[in-house]
Amino acid sequence: MVELVIFVLMGAGTLAGAVTVVLARNPVRSALGLLGALVSLAVIYVVNLAHLVAAVQVVVYAGAVLTLFLFVIMFIGVDRSEDTSETIPLQRKLVAGFATVVALGAAALVSRGRFTWTPASGEAAEIPNGTVQALGGELFTTWVLGVEVTALLLTIAAVGAIALAFHRRSAESPTED
Interactions with other proteins, residue window 67-96 (CB under 8 A): 68-69, 72-73, 75-76, 82-84, 86-87, 91-92, 95-96
* Shortest spacing between CB 3 and other proteins, in angstroms: 5
Positive or negative: CA dihedral 8, 9, 15, 16: positive
Total site size for other proteins, rule CB under 8 A? 85
Under the binding rule (CB under 8 A), the answer on residue 113 touching other proteins is yes
Which CB sits closer to other proteins, 1 or 170?
1
DSSP 102-170: HHHHHHHHHHHS--SS--TTSSPPPPP---HHHHHHHHHHTTHHHHHHHHHHHHHHHHHHHHHHTTTST
Q: How far is the CB of 4 from other proteins (least distance, A)?
A: 5
8 Å CB contact between 53 and 45: yes
* Candidate residues 89, 90, 126, 170; the one interacting with other proteins per rule CB under 8 A: 126
Residue 44 binds to other proteins (criterion: CB under 8 A): yes
Residue number, 89 or 125, with CB nearest to other proteins: 125
CB 39 within 8 A of CB 62: yes
Closest CA to 150 of 138, 136, 135, 139: 139
With CB under 8 A as the contact rule, the residue among 90, 174, 175, 177 that binds other proteins is 177
Binding mask 137-176 for other proteins (x = CB under 8 A): -xx--xx--x---x--xx-xxx-xx--xx-x--------x
Q: Which of 36, 39, 41, 43 binds other proteins (CB under 8 A)?
A: 41
- Spatial neighbors of 36 by CB under 8 A, at least 6 apart, are 13, 14, 16, 17, 20
